[in-house]
Amino acid sequence: MHMENANIDLPAIRRALKLTQTQLAQMAGVNLSTVWRWENEGLPTRGPAKAFIDRLALDASPKPRKEARSGVAV
């Protein structure tokens, strides 16, 4: 899955997942300064870091609601 980084708001995604910058850095295996740079200077455009951020964006995206057999969302 390839997502355009220009459309990714990493601080909003991080907040939606209730993560601090420190927690995100630990999850990504990078320094806190790297997360700061991603949020303030631009996201990586390739490699494992881009794949990690793409996955975070998917995890934070709204999930479709399940429908009961009656067709009513639950």
Domain ranges of the chain: 5-59
What is the distance between the alpha carbons of residues 54 and 72, in angstroms, rounded to a whole number? 31
pLDDT digits (tens, 9 = 90+) for 11-49: 999 999 999 999 999 999 999 999 999 999 999 999 999
Architecture of the CATH domain 5-59: Orthogonal Bundle (1.10)
What is the distance between the alpha carbons of residues 51 and 70, in angstroms, rounded to a whole number? 38
What is the distance between the alpha carbons of residues 3 and 11, in angstroms, rounded to a whole number? 16
Q: Can you tell me whether residue 41 is helix, strand or coil?
A: helix
The CB-side HSE value for 38 (13 A sphere, CA atoms) comes to: 28
- Residue 1 pLDDT greater than 70, yes or no: no
pLDDT digits (tens, 9 = 90+) for 50-61: 999 999 999 988
The residue type at 1: M
The CB-side HSE value for 55 (13 A sphere, CA atoms) comes to: 9
